Amino acid sequence: MENLLINILFVLLPILLFQLFYINTDLKYKNIILAIVFSISIMICMNFPITNYEGHLFDLRYIAFVLGALYGGKKVAIFLYCVILFYRFYIGGAGFYIAFIDSTLLLIILLFLLIPKYQTYSLKTKINVTMALLGLSAIISFISCHTLFGFILHAPIVLLSSFVVAQALTMGLSVYFLEYLISIDTMKKQLYHNEKLKSLSEMAASISHEVRNPLTVTRGFIQLLKSPGIDDEKKNTYLDLSLQELDRAETIISDYLTFAKPHVNVDLELLNITDEMNYVANVMQPYALMQNVSIKKEFLVKDSYILGNRKQFHQCLINLSKNAIESMQNGGKLVFKVTKENKKITLKLTDTGVGMSSEQIARLGVPFFTNKEKGTGLGTMVAFSIVKAMKGDIKVNSKMNEGTTFTISIPESVSKSKTD
């Protein structure tokens, strides 16, 4: 009994090692490692036979042999075959001839019948086939031994039959165990692959979201151009702003392409905060008009600068103002306020819209969180990450049915000389 357990252990142990070397790596030499590991297992099985009945070794070496052959391929099969014969020869005794007959028979079946088709079998077939093979090989081994030396079948029938069963069961268990480990690994790889696909689709969604912003704005301008009695000066301003926005759409696309690459060198420049806020307010004007929203500016600073990427900064504010305007379906007021305190510039975007519950606030900035039918739930996420990149922070205050205030504070940059 003890030795049976030792045999089973030494058959199962290589499977664990197999997992380490075979599954987890793309090792060039994995078949060599496999051959060595299973050879050791074979030799240990033969050294600690379950019983030794008048020179006939009852051990589980053939399980290691079959496993190594089926999962390592033909070369491993031939190598393990040689190991069995050499080692059996080294141990000595007439049993060598039995081993020769058994292993040659197994090798032929493996090489010509099993190995070529094995990987196409279902798990159930794999277990059934290998169990049958090992059970049968034990019986054949007894018959050939009896034919040659005429003693083994006199051994207690309990011993013989329990060996056949033990060998077959251990084989089935080993295959099940191994296949289980392989399936876990396949699942892991699948998961990794899915994860990659997911980030790809997130990327695509965010690109289309960001491009939609300038398109909506441009659409607003064009709609205004259609209104009757519009003077030339206004017409030109609208046209210019439309063109600017279309350019923005284009640069966003190219920006995202650079985002896709690991490291981005975005150009940082000193931004005059009131100029940029004016720009954004102008850009949002038509969209606000469409929704009956009036935009109010309260700029309490002059000639203050922050360091950042201009396009990204615009994108951040446009995303937030767009949300603010969208929250005021029945019209309202959007206030842009700029103040300065302790070398920090504070921007406040206050709307009189539907507001948010505390659960909604908590989920802000989480990708794909949206309450809109056609929303993407990326606007705030992008805005938050841009503020973070500018070493700023962002706070949200909101009351249901009263309105929302986004407060962004960004460190002031003092070196004005650069901007002149």
Residues at the interface with ligand ADP (CB under 6 A)? 319, 323-324, 327, 351, 353-356, 364, 369-372, 375-381, 404
The whole-angstrom distance between residue 338's C-alpha and the CA centroid of its chain comes to 42
* Minimal distance, residue 317 CB to Mg ion, in Å: 12
Give the residue with the Cβ less far from ligand ADP, 20 or 400.
400
Q: Which residue blocks in 150-272 are alpha helix, DSSP H?
A: 157-226, 232-260
* Minimal distance, residue 323 CB to Mg ion, in Å: 4
Q: Pick from ligand ADP, Mg ion, none: which does 353 bind, CB < 5 to 8 A by kind?
A: ligand ADP
Q: Pick from Mg ion, ligand ADP, none: which does 217 bind, CB < 5 to 8 A by kind?
A: none
Q: Pick from Mg ion, ligand ADP, none: which does 351 bind, CB < 5 to 8 A by kind?
A: ligand ADP
Give the residue with the Cβ less far from Mg ion, 282 or 371.
371
Size of the site for Mg ion (CB under 5 A): 2
> What phi and psi values does residue 28 have, to the nearest 5 degrees?
-65, -35
Give the residue with the Cβ less far from Mg ion, 72 or 379.
379
Fill in the amino acid letter for 70: L
Location of structure tokens 């999962």: 71
- 365-404 residues near Mg ion, rule: CB under 5 A: 379
Q: Which residue blocks in 74-156 are alpha helix, DSSP H?
A: 74-91, 95-109, 115-118, 123-149
Q: Which of 213, 323, 327, 398 binds Mg ion (CB under 5 A)?
A: 323
Structural element, H or E, at residue 57: strand 56-58
Give the residue with the Cβ less far from ligand ADP, 191 or 400.
400
d(CA 295, CA 277): 12
* Minimal distance, residue 379 CB to Mg ion, in Å: 3
Q: Pick from ligand ADP, Mg ion, none: which does 404 bind, CB < 5 to 8 A by kind?
A: ligand ADP
* Minimal distance, residue 365 CB to ligand ADP, in Å: 7
d(CA 95, CA 141): 10
Q: Pick from ligand ADP, Mg ion, none: which does 364 bind, CB < 5 to 8 A by kind?
A: ligand ADP
The token pair that represents 69 in the structure block = 């052959």
Number of residues that make up the chain: 420
Q: Pick from Mg ion, ligand ADP, none: which does 356 bind, CB < 5 to 8 A by kind?
A: ligand ADP
Q: Which of 411, 185, 213, 171 is nearest to 325 (CA)?
A: 213
State the burial class of residue 245 (Cβ atoms within 10 Å of its Cβ: 0-12, 13-18, 19+).
Answer: buried
* Minimal distance, residue 351 CB to ligand ADP, in Å: 5
Query: 44: which residues sit within 8 A by CB, 6+ positions away?
Result: 6, 10
* Minimal distance, residue 213 CB to Mg ion, in Å: 8
The whole-angstrom distance between residue 394's C-alpha and the CA centroid of its chain comes to 30
Give the residue with the Cβ less far from ligand ADP, 49 or 379.
379
* Minimal distance, residue 416 CB to ligand ADP, in Å: 33
Give the residue with the Cβ less far from Mg ion, 31 or 323.
323
Query: 251: which residues sit within 8 A by CB, 6+ positions away?
Result: 311
* Minimal distance, residue 242 CB to ligand ADP, in Å: 22
d(CA 69, CA 72): 5
Fill in the amino acid letter for 332: G
> Strand, helix or coil at 344?
strand
Residues in contact with Mg ion by the rule CB under 5 A: 323, 379
